Amino acid sequence: MATGESPVKAGSYQNSVVDELLQRDPGKDLSRINQRLLDYVNREPVSALRAIDIKVPQVTFPEGQDVPEINATEFEINHLRSAMASHGCLIIRGLFNRRTMADFCRVIDLAMEATNGKPKQDEHAAHISEMFSNPPSKFSSLLPEPSLSYARKFHRDGGSAMCVESASISEHLLELYASVGIKKIVADYLGEAPCLSALKWVLRRPTLPINRDGWHQDGAFMGQGINSLNMWIAANHCGGKSGAPGMDLLPQRLTEILGAGEGEAVFDWSVSDHAMKTSQSKHAVIAPVFEAGDALFFDHFLLHRTQYGNDFIRPRYAIETWFFGEKNFPRNQVPLSW
């Protein structure tokens, strides 16, 4: 499908995640998410020690890996510490159940459908649409207009949606994360309890064609001094030559933000393809292959972009969740408690 769109089809289907979402209590979820946002309203960031400032023991990963990777069944926290220190990223294979993530592709389709403003085709689409038209009231006061409309348009145009637009999807994801031990992994890595970001907790199905000049480091707009960890979960088979865009990465431990480079960068926080090609990096750019349920971890210094190419034939689905230290967080990313 040349546009990367996956139109939601009417009709019956089996999808346990959609079913579970439909059984949730939206009122309860909404008040929980509002409270999470409220918890940070009067909290000021403190520049505490960051995970990347701490010297860590080096773990040996198998030979021949461009990006360090480990199976979820063998994972220990030092894999994450060590890989972040040497390459700025780690892939944990099979961290989430493949079937659950495949179900999430449907949820992401419905979320995209919900935000496009067109009439909904079936009962499930209408219901999920309702979930996405019911954001926490605190969110709009924390992101006053025109910022909220700008953020929504930015996501709609690029093929993404903010999780907090649906309190039930957000709460469901937090329960899923807790069930596989993500809260403990993130706290152990950051060295402090984590919070999340309302702006950078995103369901993704990137619109094709992909922008060539989308290289960026999230620290360019989050700030450099923060304590961060992003968990990017692939919800379908993507990357490499799979036919669906994964992620292009420069697997290198960077500790500063690079300039935009001359000319073509798309935003004042992005880096042009030309600047990347002429950089002095000793590491090659790579585009790993992901299966549904694999997770890529990285922080606000990693240079990455949605995998660039013009021969993609399938949409790609992913869930991006940025975590920050409960003390050392970027206020501009609208933090919420966990």
Using a 10 angstrom Cβ sphere, with 0-12 exposed, 13-18 middle and 19 or more buried, the burial of residue 282 is: exposed
Q: Does 232 bind ligand AKG (CB under 6 A)?
A: yes
CB closer to ligand AKG out of 87 and 124:
87
Rounded CA-CA distance 297/293 in Å is 13
Specify whether the backbone of 223 is left (phi greater than 0), alpha (psi in -120 to 50) or beta: left
Contact pattern for ligand AKG over residues 241 through 280, marking x by CB under 6 A: ------x---------------------------------
Rounded CA-CA distance 94/102 in Å is 13
Backbone dihedral angles phi then psi of residue 267, each to the nearest 5 degrees = -125, 165
Tell me which amino acid residue 67 is.
Answer: V
Q: Does 335 bind ligand AKG (CB under 6 A)?
A: no
Rounded CA-CA distance 125/129 in Å is 6
Rounded CA-CA distance 84/70 in Å is 13
Rounded CA-CA distance 32/240 in Å is 39
CB closer to ligand AKG out of 29 and 294:
294
- Least Å distance, CB 107 to ligand AKG, is 16
User: How many residues of this chain interact with ligand AKG, rule: CB under 6 A?
Assistant: 10
- Least Å distance, CB 260 to ligand AKG, is 16
Of 320, 323, 333, 334, the one binding ligand AKG (CB under 6 A) is 320
Positions 199 through 228 that interact with ligand AKG (CB under 6 A) = 204, 206, 218
Q: Does 230 bind ligand AKG (CB under 6 A)?
A: yes
Tell me which amino acid residue 49 is.
Answer: L
Q: Does 306 bind ligand AKG (CB under 6 A)?
A: yes
Of 186, 318, 319, 336, the one binding ligand AKG (CB under 6 A) is 318
Kindly list the residues in this chain that would bind ligand AKG in the complex (CB under 6 A): 204, 206, 218, 230, 232, 247, 304, 306, 318, 320
